[in-house]
Structure 1
Amino acid sequence: MRHSLDVFRLIIDVESPVFIGNGSEISKKEYLQLRGGQLAILDIEKLYMYLKKRHMEDAFEAFMLKKEKESLEQWFYNMHLKTEDVKDCFKYIVKSDSVSLQKGTPQQIFPFVKDPYGKPYVPGSSVKGMLRTILLGADIIQNSEKYACEARYFEKNLKESHPRNRKLLNQDILKIEAMRFRYLNRSENSRDAVHDALSGCVISDSDPLDIKDLVVCQRIEKHVDGKERRLNVLRECLKPGTHICCSMTLDRSLCQLKPDEVKNAVAIFGKRYYDDYMRKFPSKIAYAKDRVFLGGGCGFVSKTIVYPMFPGMKGVRVTQEIFEKKGVPRKHMHDRDLEYGVSPHILKCTSLQKQLMPMGACRLRLEN
């Protein structure tokens, strides 16, 4: 049987830093600070071989194994080594912008995901996961009566659940997803993932990007009252102006999704996200019908369907209760979310060229 395939070009224009990690860390013993706000990430094997030629391998091994918080830069200074001496050991150089760290604390960097050739890229699974949440959220907003029964069960199970339950509401969310996506008759088990219509939507990994598209950004928490808190967390992020290009292939025997449906869902989901969450924080980012939030550090609201299902203050109360039941530490003060009128009451941000901006803001385009 011949399948009809429609292929579209999906372009995501980065507005504020986007972070998608590879699950590893670059410790402060693996990079050097350069002039001009740049960081050099070292190839440790090459560095070791260079030091071995200078009979310094024992000192280097001792440095790498000891638990003290000495950085590679400090060790170089103590060993009378110059950055210029180890240029051939650089893996790559990345720009660092508006970083302000507390001294004496670990300053590891969370690297961006890269292909086998060392090029950063955006996995198609990250883009598809974002679109799946948007499509589901928009359908809930447009057809609230359709999901009314599941919303009541959601609230009931939340109230009756045990504290510190890490799998809280997983089954409820799967049922809600099934109502939107699992309508294919491909097996007898109605909960089987083979029924999912989005199995007919394949989004490729992005075209390879360049190391020059990366910038190291610091995590900043912006409180709803306007206060800012800088954390000693550094991430390699795609910088504003980067264009993420993927292909979206739709198997028409399984998936009837249309480009206009995607664009409309982005506008509807984004409006609820802005009205119930983003506008509560002082920010220069206004609502835009084609805006999406991609990657890590965007926060709870952009990745869940709580506010689409429970708009306004009801969403604040439900979100607060989710944090409480999941055992989020009391130091985060989610017990005051109702008082603040938003939950969570922290917007995850970063700073570039001394301008504060939320993480992961992008504009989405679909082309034939």
Structure 2
Amino acid sequence: MKRYREFEFKLRTLAPVFIGSGETYKQREYIYENDAYYFPNFVTLYRKLSSNQRQQEAFENYLMSSRIQEKNMRLGEFLRKINFTDRDLGGYSIKATGVEVENNGDPDRLNEIAKFIKDPQGRPYIPGTSLKGAIRTILINTRFKGVEKIPWGGSDDIFHDIRVSDSEPLKLSSLVITKKWDYNTRKDGPNPLPLTRECLKPYTKVVFTITTVGDEAAEIISGLSKAADEFYKRYEERFLKDLDLKYRQSGYNHPIYLGGGSGLWTKANYDRINIEQIRSRTPRKMKMTGNGVFKLTKAKRQSYRLKIKGVIEERELVGKNGGAADTKDGIGFYEMGKCCFTIKEKK
């Protein structure tokens, strides 16, 4: 009988991480007030509005209206218009940090906000399938590099014997709202895109349990740290070396890229991907040049403490060796989805 073994996998986000639920908050579904984005519980909101027939009817008309003027009216603006001031409406809020808009834009004029996945209690978490996919990418580029037939997808699927739990639930205060930035090294600096997301903050700790069945699966997971370092070195040589150091973060302990927006090369099988074939099938306006663009995002600069030979040093997550891509208002650029991890067997 195969032996079961359990490992504790501790992930630390080094940059904003986005795991989408597939849903978005529309402009009529959140309120920007007092330097925060508030996402009320609409059942509670409607119940409270129902105590006033005039306000209830106005709210129903507001939601159903197809008139441009009302369609463009934000929820907070509408509630102020009907003199509804109650904000004890359940839900949650995310503090604005200044990265949601650019060039002194109006923070109350965001596009839709993509939702981070949450459990039935409304708490953010990372599904085990997301982490397992990132681990799989590492393994196909290291342990199974060049293997013609990788042993998964059939009766001998090694991944059947590697079982990754969903993460422990996280606090809503772990979330931050960020924008997507693309950086083409052939152009001047990163370019903001009209895509806004709920993400985990840099330096959030996320805990998983990995259960292995049998000796081979346990061996693979025991060696995962080394495999992650090997994959990161390959990623650096293939892609990351072209990123200006002021936008680049250090590797830290065993890097791993997770979630949406981290870019093609963090998820690819390097031995099988054919860039020329991708280019030939891509519409002219969307053609990839070189190895593509870097996926960045902005967040507050985050420092942490590290003990080296008994001496505590303070370092920053932003930029190579603490270098800064952008120091305005304590904000910096991060590589989207970058994390690190430690793993140890449970006793």
* Cα gap change, 1:302 to 1:46, in 2 (>3 Å): same
1:331 maps to 2:285: yes
Name the TM-score, length of structure 2 as normaliser.
0.80
1:226 Cα deviation after fit: 4.2
The answer as to whether partners of 1:218 and 1:231 remain within 8 angstroms in 2 is yes
Name the TM-score, length of structure 1 as normaliser.
0.76
Alignment counterpart, residue 212 of structure 1, candidates 158, 168, 173: 173
Work out the CA distance in 2 between the residues paired with 1:105 and 1:181: 49
User: Which structure's residues are more often helix, by fraction?
Assistant: 1
Work out the CA distance in 1 between the residues paired with 2:286 and 2:252: 30
1:259 Cα deviation after fit: 3.8
The answer as to whether partners of 1:270 and 1:289 remain within 8 angstroms in 2 is no
SS at 1:12 equivalent:
strand
The residue identity in structure 1 corresponding to 2:113 is I
1:260 Cα deviation after fit: 4.2
Work out the CA distance in 1 between the residues paired with 2:268 and 2:28: 37
Q: Look up the match of 1:53.
A: 51
Q: Look up the match of 1:193.
A: 154
Deviation string, structure 1 residues 117-167 (Cα, Å, up to 9, x no partner)? 1111111111111101110111355xx4xx4xxxxxxxxxxxxxxxxxxxx
Q: Look up the match of 1:109.
A: 113
The residue identity in structure 2 corresponding to 1:276 is R
SS at 2:101 equivalent:
coil
Q: Look up the match of 1:3.
A: 2
Deviation string, structure 1 residues 258-307 (Cα, Å, up to 9, x no partner)? 4442112101111111121122122231344611101111111101113x
1:308-327 aligned at under 5 Å gives the runs: 309=271, 318-325=274-281, 327=282
1:106-255 aligned at under 5 Å gives the runs: 107-139=111-143, 141=145, 144=146, 147=147, 176=148, 179-182=149-152, 193-224=154-185, 225-252=187-214, 255=217
* Cα gap change, 1:45 to 1:289, in 2 (>3 Å): closer
Q: Look up the match of 1:294.
A: 258
Q: RMSD in angstroms over aligned alpha carbons?
A: 2.3
* Cα gap change, 1:362 to 1:46, in 2 (>3 Å): same
The answer as to whether partners of 2:101 and 2:110 remain within 8 angstroms in 1 is no
Q: Look up the match of 1:170.
A: none
The answer as to whether partners of 1:25 and 1:109 remain within 8 angstroms in 2 is yes
Q: Look up the match of 1:351.
A: 298
Percent sequence identity over matched residues?
Answer: 24
Greater mean alpha carbon deviation, residues 100-109 or residues 354-363:
100-109
Work out the CA distance in 2 between the residues paired with 1:253 and 1:140: 17
Q: Look up the match of 1:23.
A: 22
1:257-276 aligned at under 5 Å gives the runs: 257-276=219-238
Structure 2 residue runs without a partner (length 5+)? 301-330
SS at 1:63 equivalent:
helix
SS at 1:264 equivalent:
helix
The answer as to whether partners of 1:250 and 1:257 remain within 8 angstroms in 2 is no
1:39 maps to 2:37: yes
The residue identity in structure 2 corresponding to 1:294 is L
Q: Look up the match of 1:13.
A: 12
SS at 1:57 equivalent:
helix
Greater mean alpha carbon deviation, residues 256-265 or residues 131-140:
256-265
